[in-house]
Structure 1
Amino acid sequence: MTDTGRLRRLLGGPDTAWLVQRVRRRLERGGALSGTVTLAGATPSQRRAVELLLGRRAAAGASLSVSLAEVDRVLRASGASPGGLAAAVEVLGGPVPDLVRERAETAAAWASAFDPLDEAVACRPELADWHERLGSSGLVRRLTSGPGEAAAMLRRLAAVVRALPASDVPLSRFAAETCGDAHALDDGRPLATLALSSARALVGLPFAADGGAENRRGTWAAVGVHLDELSSTVLCLGLPGDTTTATGRMLAAMRGEPVSLTLRQLRRRAAPMRAGLVRICENPVVLTEAADALGPSCPPLVCCNGRPSAAVWRLLELLADGSAEFAYHGDFDWGGVAIATAVRTRIGWRPWRYDAAAYREAASDTPLTGRPSPTAWDPALATAMSERGVRVEEEHVLSDLITDLGTATTHGAA
Structure 2
Amino acid sequence: MNGPDERLRRLLGGDDTAWLLGRARRRMEQGRPLTGTVTLPAATPAQRRAIEALLGRRAGAGASLSVSLEDVDQVLRAGGVAEGGLPEAVVRLGGPVRDLAGETAALTAAWNDAFARLDALVAGRPELTGWRAWLESTGLVRRLAGTATEARPLLGALAAILARLPSPGLPLGRLAAETCGDAHALDEGRPLATLALSAARALGGQPYAGEGGADARRAAWAAVGVHLDDLSSLVLCLGLPGDERTPTGRMLHAARAAGEPCVLTLRQLRRHETPFAADLVRVCENPVVVAAAADELGASCPPLVCGGGRPSAAAWRLLDLLAAGGATFAYHGDFDWGGVAIAAALHERLGFRPWRFDTAAYQAVSSPARLTGRPSPTPWDPDLSAAMAARGVRVEEELVLAELIADLAG
- Contact in 2 for aligned 1:2/1:82 (Cα 8 Å): no
The alignment partner of 2:106 has SS state of: helix
Residue 82 of structure 1 corresponds to 83
Q: Quick one: which amino acid aligns to residue 298 of structure 1?
A: C
Cα deviation, residue 138, structure 1: 1.9
Q: Quick one: which amino acid aligns to residue 320 of structure 1?
A: A
Cα deviation, residue 209, structure 1: 6.6
Note if 1:248 corresponds to 2:249: yes
Residue 307 of structure 1 corresponds to 310
Q: 1:287 to 1:319 in 2, by over 3 A?
A: same
The alignment partner of 1:163 has SS state of: coil
* TM-score between both structures, scaled by the size of structure 2: 0.94
Instruction: String of CA shifts for 1:145-188, please: whole Å, max 9, x gaps.
Output: 11111122111111112111113111111011112222221111
Q: 1:106 to 1:2 in 2, by over 3 A?
A: farther
Q: 1:258 aligns with which of 256, 261, 268?
A: 261
Residue 190 of structure 1 corresponds to 191
Separation (CA, whole Å) in 2 of partners of 1:71 and 1:219: 64
Separation (CA, whole Å) in 1 of partners of 2:270 and 2:214: 24
Note if 1:59 corresponds to 2:60: yes
Residue 383 of structure 1 corresponds to 386
Cα deviation, residue 282, structure 1: 0.8
Cα deviation, residue 250, structure 1: 1.7
| Mapping 1:98-247, distance limit 5 Å | 98-208=99-209, 211-247=212-248
The alignment partner of 1:37 has SS state of: strand
- Contact in 1 for aligned 2:201/2:210 (Cα 8 Å): no
- Contact in 2 for aligned 1:299/1:405 (Cα 8 Å): yes
Residue 298 of structure 1 corresponds to 301
Note if 1:399 corresponds to 2:402: yes
Separation (CA, whole Å) in 1 of partners of 2:326 and 2:310: 23
Separation (CA, whole Å) in 1 of partners of 2:224 and 2:142: 26
Deviates most, 298-307 or 103-112: 103-112
Q: Quick one: which amino acid aligns to residue 87 of structure 1?
A: E
Residue 23 of structure 2 corresponds to 22
The alignment partner of 1:302 has SS state of: strand
The number of residue pairs the alignment matches comes to 407
Q: What are the ranges of 5 or more consecutive residues in structure 1 without an aligned counterpart?
A: 408-414
Separation (CA, whole Å) in 2 of partners of 1:47 and 1:388: 70
Residue 358 of structure 2 corresponds to 355
- Contact in 2 for aligned 1:217/1:227 (Cα 8 Å): yes
Residue 324 of structure 1 corresponds to 327
Q: Quick one: which amino acid aligns to residue 43 of structure 2?
A: A
Residue 347 of structure 2 corresponds to 344
The alignment partner of 2:264 has SS state of: strand
Cα deviation, residue 280, structure 1: 0.8
Residue 411 of structure 1 corresponds to none
Residue 283 of structure 1 corresponds to 286
Structure 1 runs (4+) deviating above 4 angstroms are none
Q: 1:93 to 1:361 in 2, by over 3 A?
A: same
* TM-score between both structures, scaled by the size of structure 1: 0.93
Deviates most, 210-219 or 41-50: 210-219
Separation (CA, whole Å) in 2 of partners of 1:145 and 1:337: 37
Instruction: String of CA shifts for 1:299-354, please: whole Å, max 9, x gaps.
Output: 11100010001000000001111111211111122221211111111111112222
Q: 1:364 aligns with which of 350, 362, 367?
A: 367
The alignment partner of 1:114 has SS state of: helix
Separation (CA, whole Å) in 2 of partners of 1:70 and 1:387: 65
